């Protein structure tokens, strides 16, 4: 009878509890770091994407565009004008379309001919836009847009030899945007040491007084853009400070909160 071979006992390996605890602790720390990173990234994205929730960010964008870049038109994206409107649509519906009769361009031109004529238009309109800004000391939106469209229609007839009609609406918009950009590039301030800070928070009583104290002109501006003074939920002042050519400047913006978003109050500009 064959002799049975005794199976050797399995070796018992003791776990290093210190290493196990270290591994678990490392995993927890790693997870917390990842969560913290994601929260930071999300907060940064949210703050940059939804700037209208932060009055200091709204004021910063407005002043960077208006005060520094001298872009009177695009700075309006951060004002109460756009609470119920799109800036481009407002321009088209209230100024361009009423000035252009329905019609199609009948004269056929080569791309080279068309480009040369459009270049002539830009030269005239860029210079005219600069003149409007220089002479429009009150910086009223209505004045700038009305005069520019009138001049475009007049210049178009001279350059193209035919009347401007609805078919050139997009060309007018493009020309205007080009004029705004050209003026901005020529006049942008070399701003340094820029800071933006909320320097006054209005109390509930002060907010109520602000609504009640709006002038008839201010109320008319609000009504024109579909805004009720009663919709103002909060008010604050933000100071935009910068230096240029060795001089220090402070620009104070009054902002109103409508719903969840902040806007520079266009009636105070």
Which tens digit of pLDDT belongs to each residue from 93-126? 999 999 999 999 878 999 999 999 999 999 999 9
Residues 180 and 93 both lie in one domain: yes
Mean confidence (pLDDT) of the chain = 85
pTM of the complete model: 0.76
Last residue of a domain, one of 145, 161, 187: 187
Q: pLDDT for 40-96, tens place per residue?
A: 333 333 344 589 999 999 999 999 999 999 998 899 899 998 776 788 888 999 999
Q: Report DSSP state, residue 75.
A: G
Sole residue written with tokens 């401007």: 164
- pLDDT over threshold 60, residue 27: no
Residues 210 and 254 both lie in one domain: yes
pLDDT at res. 250: 97
Q: Are 176 and 168 in contact (CB under 8 A)?
A: no
State the Cα–Cα distance between residues 126 and 109, nearest whole angstrom. Answer: 23
pLDDT at res. 181: 95
State the Cα–Cα distance between residues 126 and 130, nearest whole angstrom. Answer: 6
Q: pLDDT for 207-266, tens place per residue?
A: 999 999 999 999 998 888 889 999 999 999 999 999 999 999 999 999 999 999 999 998
- pLDDT over threshold 60, residue 30: no
Residues 108 and 127 both lie in one domain: yes
pLDDT at res. 82: 79
Last residue of a domain, one of 153, 171, 187: 187
Tell me how far apart the terminal alpha carbons of the chain are, to the nearest angstrom.
111
State the Cα–Cα distance between residues 88 and 77, nearest whole angstrom. Answer: 10
Q: Which domain holds residue 117?
A: 73-187
Residues 213 and 135 both lie in one domain: no
Residue 27 makes CB contacts below 8 A (sequence gap 6+) with: none
Residues 111 and 162 both lie in one domain: yes
Last residue of a domain, one of 187, 218, 248: 187
User: How many CB atoms neighbour CB 30 within 10 A?
Assistant: 10
3-state SS assignment for residue 19: helix
pLDDT at res. 143: 87
State the Cα–Cα distance between residues 181 and 9, nearest whole angstrom. Answer: 86
Residue 77 makes CB contacts below 8 A (sequence gap 6+) with: 61, 65, 87
- Total structural domains in the chain? 2
Dihedral (CA of 169, 172, 178, 179) sign? negative
State the Cα–Cα distance between residues 18 and 21, nearest whole angstrom. Answer: 5
Does residue 25 belong to any structural domain of this protein?
Answer: no
3-state SS assignment for residue 10: coil
Q: How confident is the model at residue 36 (pLDDT cuts 50, 70, 90)?
A: very low
């Amino acid at each position: 009878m064959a002799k049975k071979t005794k199976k050797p006992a399995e070796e018992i390996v003791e776990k290093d509890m210190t290493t196990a605890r270290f591994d678990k602790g490392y995993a927890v720390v790693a997870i917390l770091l990842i969560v913290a990173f994601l929260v930071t990234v999300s907060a940064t994205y949210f703050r940059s994407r939804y700037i209208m929730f932060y009055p200091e960010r709204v004021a910063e964008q407005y002043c960077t565009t208006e005060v520094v870049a001298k872009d009177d038109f695009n700075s309006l994206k951060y004002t109460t004008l756009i609470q119920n409107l799109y800036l481009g649509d407002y321009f088209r519906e209230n100024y361009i379309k009423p000035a252009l009769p329905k019609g199609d361009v009948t004269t056929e031109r080569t791309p080279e001919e068309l480009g040369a004529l459009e270049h002539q238009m830009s030269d005239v309109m860029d210079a005219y836009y600069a003149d409007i800004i220089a002479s429009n000391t009150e910086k009223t939106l209505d004045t700038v847009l009305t005069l520019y469209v009138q001049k475009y229609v007049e210049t178009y007839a001279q350059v193209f030899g035919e009347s401007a009609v609805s078919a050139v609406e997009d060309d007018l918009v493009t020309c205007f945007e080009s004029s705004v950009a050209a003026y901005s590039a020529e006049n942008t301030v070399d701003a340094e040491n820029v800071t933006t800070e909320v320097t006054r928070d209005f109390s509930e009583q002060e907010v109520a007084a602000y609504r009640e104290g709006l002038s008839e002109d201010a109320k008319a501006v609000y009504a024109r853009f579909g805004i009720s003074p009663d919709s103002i939920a909060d008010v604050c002042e933000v100071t935009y400070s910068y230096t240029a050519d060795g001089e220090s400047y402070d620009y104070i913006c009054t902002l109103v909160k409508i719903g969840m978003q902040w806007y520079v109050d266009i009636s105070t500009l």
